[in-house]
Amino acid sequence: MGKPVESNRKVSESRSMLLNIGPSHPAMHGIVRLITELDGETILNADVEIGYLHRAFEKMCEQGPYNNAIPYTDRLNYVSPLINNIGYCLAVEKILGITTPERCQYIRVIMSELSRITDHLTCVGATAMELGAFTVFLYMIKAREYLYEVIEDVTGARLTISYARVGGLKADLPEGFEKKCLWAIQETRGVLKEVEALLNKNRIFVDRMKDTGFISQEDAIAYGITGPFLRSTGADYDVRKSQPYLVYDKLDFDIPVGEHGDNLDRYYVRMEEMAQSMRIIEQALKQMPKGDIMVDTKGHVIPAAIMVDEAKMGRTQDFKNARVDLDPTLEGTTKGFHENVYSHDKRVALPAKEDTYGNIEGLMNHFKLVMAGHGLRPPKGEAYFPVEGANGELGFYVVSDGTDQPYRVRVRPPCFPIMGALHKLLAGEMVADIVPTFGSVNMIGGELDR
């Protein structure tokens, strides 16, 4: 027998490839890395690394008095910071057992919904831009500017606003707020119609979004996902309806839901949520108790610096009917506004500026609330308070040991569970589907930070 003839044919070998996407990829926000395993352009698996931003939010909140944590909450979801401010304050107020005035609650709702709209505008606009629809991004940012101007009029800032306070708000709404707010809403509605005309029947956009980033309702619930991501699967869970807080139970609005749990449904849900938020704001403006918006014209006006100097000399006999003229950062904190937006509990609320500057009782009350070792002292206990953030259930868990500093602060960030499920969303998809799927997550690094 002769020797067997050796085949010259080489055995083909198939191997997968690892590809890093981010953190320097522009769609990854500079802080997220996806380690993808690819078969050609098909994603076999993805490992999500979220640890490129370290802020120590929770420990920073535990280092100072309760109100000192509010600027830190601004930086959680910096696209909708007002919701973070208010959610934290509601948790502390739950331990204190206090309820804010009705006007304050309406203002909190209005500012929360303005924040929700700015967040969705940013999310949809950025996602569209990353898919090539740059015009949509410009339109959305134009609308966001209208709303940022309204927010700036109220808070004095556009992004890091620090507007809420435990027991109330920094100040009342400025004169002319309602007119400007309604105008901004009208302009935003016009922009959204333009965007829908550009995207809803755009073949490229729809093909990139439809049937990509799919997740079932069962998996979404199992992962603890909430917000527009969950509602895109057909589940109608929304904290504002399921566990009403502030005055949401007095307002009429719908919870938009999808059917397929894909990126396209999440786009539709966010677009409709913006319409519902504008509906909520319009109702709140009509129902809100007016309070003393116009300052009483009786008495005389004293500049704040002069009132302080006079008080130091003991010349306060004429201060009873006087009004203080404040710089813009303190406007809305005088007596005419104070009682409408702040709790009447002196253990919690800073006094009106006339009292702080004009009498010893007000000055002592102010000092006791801001001096280290004094301040707010909730009784020993703990509280969890959830609010509906732009990305889902935003919860704050606060533990009090009876001192003026929280013993423990824990935040439930809504985009964290979604990032936990991201590998499941990407497996089986194409590399090109990463961008629309990650865009629909609306990942915010500030709140994702652990």
Write out the two tokens for 6.
Answer: 């050796």
Query: Residue 296 pLDDT more than 60?
Result: no
Q: Is CATH 1.10.645.10 the right assignment for the domain spanning 69-291+414-424?
A: yes
pLDDT higher than 60, residue 209: yes
Higher pLDDT, 302 or 223: 223
- Count CB atoms within 10 A of the CB of residue 234: 15
- Is it the case that residue 330 has pLDDT exceeding 80? no
The answer, yes or no, to whether residue 198 has pLDDT greater than 50, is yes
Q: State yes or no: pLDDT of 4 exceeds 80.
A: no
Average pLDDT over residues 180-190: 97
- More confident: 111 or 22: 111
Q: List the alpha helices (DSSP H) in 156-288.
A: 177-199, 203-209, 217-222, 227-231, 239-242, 263-287
Q: How confident is the model at residue 5 (pLDDT cuts 50, 70, 90)?
A: low
Average model confidence (pLDDT) for the chain?
A: 88
pLDDT value for 360:
81
Q: Which residue has the higher pLDDT, 233 or 289?
A: 233
Task: Indicate the pLDDT class of residue 345, thresholds 50, 70 and 90.
Answer: confident
Contact in structure between 33 and 52 (CB atoms under 8 Å): yes
* pLDDT-based confidence at residue 373 (cuts at 50, 70, 90): confident
Query: CB of 426 within 8 A of CB of 36?
Result: yes
Ranges in the chain annotated CATH 1.10.645.10: 69-291+414-424
Sign of CA dihedral 189, 190, 193, 195: negative
- Range in 37-46, 191-200, 239-248, 349-358 the model is least confident about: 349-358
**C-alpha span between 65 and 377 (Å, rounded):** 9
Strand order of the sheet with strand 17-21?
A: 17-21, 33-39, 42-49
Per-residue pLDDT at 261 exceeds 50: yes
Of 272, 257, 266, which is closest to residue 214 (Cα–Cα)?
A: 266
Asked if the model's pLDDT at residue 225 lies above 80, the reply is yes
Q: What percent of the chain has pLDDT over 70?
A: 89
Q: What is the pTM of this model?
A: 0.85
Looking at residue 294, its pLDDT comes to: 28
Residue 430 DSSP one-character state: B
| Rounded Cα distance, 89 and 387, in Å | 11
Peptide bond into 436 cis (omega under 30): no
Q: What is the pLDDT of residue 321?
A: 61
The pLDDT of residue 375 is 80
| Band of pLDDT at residue 130, cut at 50, 70 and 90 | very high
Nearest to 406 by CA among 24, 175, 67, 81: 67
DSSP 8-state secondary structure symbol assigned to residue 11: P
Q: 448 or 203, which is more confident? A: 203
